């Protein structure tokens, strides 16, 4: 009887034994993209996937997770799970996830399929293939989980239409388009490090815990199902970085430059996740500043201590992120609030209990700088003068976030940097984004900036923000604008009232 091979032996056969060198074409012609970034690889066989998954093991593990996940999603739908969430305001966070993050999962699927083709090492190709399938699965499970809410609430329709046209969704969209137009090594570094280690760790752990606390078991279940994949991606991403550093000393400055760039891009994108945690969760589990402290300042610093032996230091501008953690979400929320006429989600001024929580978590910074502004906006609402800025904002040429952040050492001064290239001037929101622009100016001068396109008449000919919203297929004051008084709130309140008046003997 033939000896049954172990997992390690089967992985070796998959990633080494089935590979071959081409004779009908030179290998450099077959794999033209794995050298032009300057990364030097001496031994592709040194690539090691710490999990050593074979395809049969991969399908077995994933199918087991799928059966459990969809059993819970079915139960959530059959038991009218939408009635068990804490408040309909919570769904603004879900809408932002669907519009901004789910398309990124699909983009990651495409990106890893493309990057895998570019590597001449079979181990790297197999790892990219599995992550590509993971990312596609994540996009699909998120769509299935969120589809239930689309039956009852507004703003869930047309997320793919929105993704390519809405000004605020260019923030996540530009992140991935930047990564996918880079070389294969930079792409893997950007996603495995910035998207997985910096971003999804904060998204799938503290935010998904918040989803559970707010009664959304559908999001909680797919989040924890995906997190086991994300943990594998993060571990593999760290091994990829180590692989490049171990192969040649000339790779160190290239990798350090990518870590600097993609830390900053991931951090800027995280402003949306932090705002979901601080402002869109009616029942809160931890503040953004606390989550950043645990998941980046403690865990992220430990990662860089591990990489220190290769000559890697903490990413540039990491100290700026530490300074801004007490201000980031407040400045983002007030911006989303005022541009609410062009968002496919609702915004509002927090109630007294929420403002007290923010005061407790953010102290004098919140009390002196942001609480007065929120109370002023509430007074306007009470006078029937709910404030909207009916123009679209100027956005950063790199991260595409509106120019609303303040200077790291001066929260009363708007942070703006002017950069120039090819005879044109552009605006950046920070030194981090200005550094990225100046390193590759001819890449970023070509960036598609939605507000500029809209004002040039390239948004269906829209002449103002309301025609632009209609072009996005958004119905004014139904999909957009203030939460209080919206159809979503009225329906939610009617459900709550019906629940109170339901006879006790009715199931």
Residue with the larger pLDDT of the pair 462 and 133: 133
Specify whether the CB–CB gap between 468 and 156 falls below 8 A: no
DSSP structure class, residue 421: E
Question: What does the alpha-carbon distance between residue 192 and residue 195 come to, in Å, rounded to a whole number?
Answer: 6
Structure-token match 């590979």, residue found: 19
Write b or e for each residue in 74-102: b if 16 or more Cβ atoms lie within 10 A of its Cβ, otherwise e: eebbeeebbeebeebbbbbbbbbbbbbbb
8-21, pLDDT tens digit by residue?
888 888 888 888 88
The pLDDT of residue 466 is above 80: yes
**Quick one: CA dihedral 488, 485, 92, 290, positive or negative?**
negative
Q: What percent of the chain has pLDDT over 90?
A: 62
Question: In the 3-class helix/strand/coil scheme, how is 438-482 assigned residue by residue?
Answer: HHCHHHHCCCCCHHHHHHCCCCCCCCCHHHHHHHCCCCCCCCCCE
pLDDT at position 460, please? Answer: 82
Question: What does the alpha-carbon distance between residue 33 and residue 115 come to, in Å, rounded to a whole number?
Answer: 9
Question: In the 3-class helix/strand/coil scheme, how is 48-84 assigned residue by residue?
Answer: CCCCCCCHHHHHHHHHHHHHHHHHHHHHHHHCCHHHH
232-274, pLDDT tens digit by residue?
888 888 888 899 999 999 999 999 999 999 999 999 988 888 9
Question: What does the alpha-carbon distance between residue 124 and residue 114 come to, in Å, rounded to a whole number?
Answer: 12
DSSP structure class, residue 199: I
Give residue 504's pLDDT band: very low, low, confident or very high (50, 70, 90). Answer: low
φ, ψ of residue 35 to 5 degrees: the values are: -125, -20
Structure-token match 């953010």, residue found: 362
What is the H or E stretch that residue 359 is in? helix 352-365
At 203 the three-state DSSP class reads: helix
Give residue 507's pLDDT band: very low, low, confident or very high (50, 70, 90). Answer: very low
What beta strand segments (E) does 114-272 contain?
none
135-184, pLDDT tens digit by residue?
999 999 999 999 999 999 999 998 888 888 898 999 999 999 999 999 99
Question: What does the alpha-carbon distance between residue 131 and residue 210 come to, in Å, rounded to a whole number?
Answer: 26
Specify whether the CB–CB gap between 128 and 199 falls below 8 A: no
User: Within 10 Å of residue 498's Cβ, how many Cβ atoms?
Assistant: 10
401-437, pLDDT tens digit by residue?
998 899 999 999 999 999 999 899 999 999 999 999 9
Question: What does the alpha-carbon distance between residue 127 and residue 233 come to, in Å, rounded to a whole number?
Answer: 9
Please count the CA atoms within 13 angstroms of the CA of 8 that sit on its side-chain side: 2
The contacts of residue 9 (CB under 8 Å, 6+ apart) are none
Pairing of the two strands 410-414 and 406-407: antiparallel
pLDDT at position 56, please? Answer: 87
The pLDDT of residue 1 is above 60: no
Burial (CB count within 10 angstroms: exposed 0-12, middle 13-18, buried 19+), residue 119: buried
Give residue 2's pLDDT band: very low, low, confident or very high (50, 70, 90). Answer: low
Question: What does the alpha-carbon distance between residue 140 and residue 66 come to, in Å, rounded to a whole number?
Answer: 11
Residue with the larger pLDDT of the pair 192 and 67: 67
The CA-CA-CA angle for residues 148, 149, 152, to 5°, reads 110
Is the whole model's pTM more than 0.85, yes or no?
yes
Looking at the DSSP bridge assignments, the partners of residue 426 are 419
Looking at the DSSP bridge assignments, the partners of residue 410 are 407
Question: What does the alpha-carbon distance between residue 496 and residue 279 come to, in Å, rounded to a whole number?
Answer: 22
Give residue 500's pLDDT band: very low, low, confident or very high (50, 70, 90). Answer: confident
The pLDDT of residue 204 is above 90: no
Structure-token match 């040649």, residue found: 248
Looking at the DSSP bridge assignments, the partners of residue 414 are 406
Query: Which string of DSSP letters, residue by residue, matches 285-332?
Result: SS-HHHHHIIIIIIHHHHHHHHHGGGT--PPTTHHHHHHHTTTHHHHH
φ, ψ of residue 121 to 5 degrees: the values are: -85, 130
Q: Which two tokens stand for residue 215?
A: 């009664």
């Amino acid at each position: 009887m033939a000896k049954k091979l172990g997992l390690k032996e089967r992985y070796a056969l998959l990633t080494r034994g089935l590979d071959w060198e081409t004779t009908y074409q030179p290998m450099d012609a077959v794999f033209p993209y794995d050298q032009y970034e300057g990364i030097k690889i001496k031994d592709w066989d040194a690539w090691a996937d710490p999990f050593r998954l074979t395809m049969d093991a991969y399908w077995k593990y994933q199918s087991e997770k799928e059966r459990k996940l969809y059993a819970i999603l079915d139960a959530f739908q059959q038991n009218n799970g939408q009635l068990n969430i804490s408040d309909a305001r919570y769904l603004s966070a879900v809408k932002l996830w669907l519009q901004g993050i789910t398309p990124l999962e699909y983009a990651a699927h495409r990106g890893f399929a493309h990057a895998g083709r570019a590597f001449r090492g079979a181990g790297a190709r197999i790892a990219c293939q599995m992550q590509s399938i993971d990312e596609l699965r994540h996009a699909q499970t998120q769509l299935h989980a969120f589809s239930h809410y689309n039956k009852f609430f507004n703003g869930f329709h047309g997320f793919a239409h929105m993704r390519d046209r809405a000004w605020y969704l260019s923030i996540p969209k530009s992140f991935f388009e930047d990564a996918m137009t880079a070389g294969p090594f930079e792409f893997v570094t950007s996603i495995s490090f910035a998207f997985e280690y910096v971003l999804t760790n904060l998204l799938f752990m503290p935010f998904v815990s918040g989803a559970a606390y707010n009664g959304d078991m559908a999001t909680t279940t797919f989040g924890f199902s995906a997190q086991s994949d994300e943990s594998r991606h993060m571990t593999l991403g760290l091994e990829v970085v180590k692989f490049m550093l171990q192969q040649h000393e000339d790779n160190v400055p290239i990798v350090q430059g990518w870590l600097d760039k993609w830390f900053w891009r991931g951090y800027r994108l995280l402003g949306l996740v932090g705002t979901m945690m601080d402002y869109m969760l009616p029942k809160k589990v931890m503040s953004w500043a606390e989550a950043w402290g645990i998941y980046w300042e403690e865990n992220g610093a430990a990662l860089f201590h591990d990489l220190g032996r290769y000559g890697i230091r903490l990413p540039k501008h990491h100290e700026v992120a530490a300074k801004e953690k007490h201000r980031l979400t407040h400045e983002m929320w007030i911006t989303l609030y005022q541009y609410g006429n062009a968002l496919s989600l609702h915004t509002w001024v927090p109630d007294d209990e929420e403002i007290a929580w923010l005061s407790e978590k953010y102290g004098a910074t919140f009390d002196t700088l942001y609480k007065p502004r929120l109370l002023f906006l509430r007074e306007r609402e009470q006078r029937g003068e709910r404030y909207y800025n009916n123009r679209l904002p100027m956005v950063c040429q790199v991260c595409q976030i509106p120019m609303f952040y303040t200077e790291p050492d001066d929260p009363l001064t708007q942070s703006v940097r002017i950069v120039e290239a090819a005879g044109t001037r552009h605006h950046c929101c920070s030194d981090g984004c200005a550094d990225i622009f100046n390193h590759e100016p001819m890449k970023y001068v070509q960036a598609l900036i939605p507000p500029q396109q809209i004002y040039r008449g390239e948004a269906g000919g829209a002449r103002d923000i309301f025609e632009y919203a209609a072009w996005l297929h958004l119905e004014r004051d139904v999909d957009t604008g203030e939460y209080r008084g919206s159809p979503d709130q009225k329906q939610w309140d009617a459900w709550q009232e019906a629940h109170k008046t339901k006879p006790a003997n009715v199931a």
